[in-house]
Amino acid sequence: MPARFPMPYPNSWYAVCDSSELRRGQVRRLQYLGRELVAFRGGDSVAHVLDAYCPHLGAHLGVGGKVQGDTVVCPFHGWRFAGDGRCVEAPYARTTPRCGVGSWSTVERNGVVWIWYHALGAAPDLGVLELPEHDDPGWTPFRRYRWTVKSHPQEMGENAADTAHFLYVHGTLGQPEVTSEVTPDGAFHATNRSRNKRFGVVVDTEVDIRVFCPGFSAIRFSELAEVLMLASSTPVDEETVEQTFRFAARRRGNPIVRALVSHLFMREVARQFEQDTPIWEHKVHLPRPVLCDGDGPIWQYRKWYQRFYSAQPISGEAKLPAAAAGHWK
Ligand code: FES
Ligand SMILES: [Fe+2]
């Protein structure tokens, strides 16, 4: 059977765990990007992510490995590895073997540990933006929702540009108005205005979507509540994505009403994600879709997305009716 997604893993920062899930002295096994990885936080409090298999005899550093100082110790024969992956000691050997494991560029932002993936091993050419709402006392701490979806980050992200599906999949009252642009700092920025029925009341919803890279987006909702959503998409393997939404709400008004409304709103966004899931899990990626003039900036999104691939996986142009073609320049 042909692969549903011809695209490789996009070059990007990817969330691998929350900072709070990697305490000082802790070791964590990670399984992302089709690889076995190990995360640890040494005595210096710095989070590190390494390839998991010890070069000695292949033990998994994340299963039984321990932190010692700023190093991780292999559970099998005690060899120690620094945060840069270098073997710094084989305790029973007279000479430390010159070897190591692969290490991943790692940053912590917004309470999340991120690693940089690049198909050709290039260093990061963009950062992970600090969101001003994170750790702001005027906003609640993040509430987390998580799913594992049989899809690809490009396919799932395309939702933001796909104007027409909101009516058919999410039941908006009419087609939303979607505008999009690529910002000077290279993010895909879309705004979505729609009319919705919530708990029997008709409300206008405004959504500001900024996709910074395939693994990291910030979505701001202004409706019954003012809500920020940090969305992270991390490939587990070539056809599986771990999707996490971290929601924060602005603290204003009656705290009980605000907590209730923002919680209900977060649940509604999560429910909408689950409405998309069966479509994503069964569709194929069409490199040459037939688009029409009401479809929203799907092709603009796809063109923008190409910057995250080392090789161009999409060739040719979408089959656009002549009348629609002008919308995609
Ligand atoms: S397998 Fe890791 S020290 Fe031997
Ligand atoms: Fe959707």
**Is any ligand 1 atom within 6 A of the Cβ of residue 328?**
no
Give the chain's mean pLDDT. Answer: 92
Residue 314 pLDDT greater than 70, yes or no: no
Distance CA 220, CA 202 (A): 20
161 Cα–ligand 2 center, Å = 10
Contact 130, 109 (CB under 8 A): yes
**Is any ligand 1 atom within 6 A of the Cβ of residue 308?**
no
**Is any ligand 1 atom within 6 A of the Cβ of residue 89?**
no
What is the reported pTM? 0.92
100 Cα–ligand 1 center, Å = 11
Contact 147, 277 (CB under 8 A): yes
pLDDT more than 70, % of the chain: 94
Which atom of ligand 1 has the smallest separation from the CA of 74? 2
Q: Note the pLDDT tens digit of each residue in 44-57.
A: 999 999 999 999 99
For tokens 């290490």, the residue is 103
For tokens 């076995």, the residue is 36
Work out the pLDDT band at 254, boundaries 50, 70, 90: confident
Q: What is the pLDDT of residue 301?
A: 97
Contact 155, 280 (CB under 8 A): yes
pLDDT more than 90, % of the chain: 82
Distance CA 302, CA 93 (A): 54
Q: Which of 122, 105, 123 is nearest to 114 (CA)?
A: 105
116 Cα–ligand 2 center, Å = 27
DSSP 160: G
Work out the pLDDT band at 322, boundaries 50, 70, 90: very low
Q: What is the pLDDT of residue 311?
A: 66
Q: Note the pLDDT tens digit of each residue in 32-45.
A: 999 999 999 999 99
Distance CA 8, CA 243 (A): 18
Residue 61 pLDDT greater than 60, yes or no: yes
Residue 240: exposure state from Cβ atoms within 10 A (0-12, 13-18, ≥19):
middle
Which residues place a Cβ less than 5 A from the ion ligand 2? Answer: 159, 276
Q: Atom 1, ligand 1: which residue's CA is nearest?
A: 57
Q: Which of 210, 219, 221 is nearest to 186 (CA)?
A: 210
**Is any ligand 1 atom within 6 A of the Cβ of residue 59?**
yes
Q: Note the pLDDT tens digit of each residue in 4-15.
A: 999 999 999 999
**Is any ligand 1 atom within 6 A of the Cβ of residue 54?**
yes
Distance CA 16, CA 38 (A): 10
Residue 180 pLDDT greater than 80, yes or no: yes
User: What's the half-sphere exposure (Cβ side, CA atoms, 13 Å) at 70?
Assistant: 11
The residue whose CB lies within 8 Å of the most ligand 1 atoms, and thus the one to mutate among 72, 74, 80, 99, is 74
128 Cα–ligand 2 center, Å = 25
Phi-psi region of 3 (alpha: psi -120 to 50; beta: other; left: phi over 0): beta
- Give mean pLDDT, residues 241-250: 96
Q: Which amino acid is at 270?
A: A
The residue whose CB lies within 8 Å of the most ligand 1 atoms, and thus the one to mutate among 50, 54, 63, is 54
- Give mean pLDDT, residues 153-163: 95
The residue whose CB lies within 8 Å of the most ligand 1 atoms, and thus the one to mutate among 27, 51, 77, 99, is 77
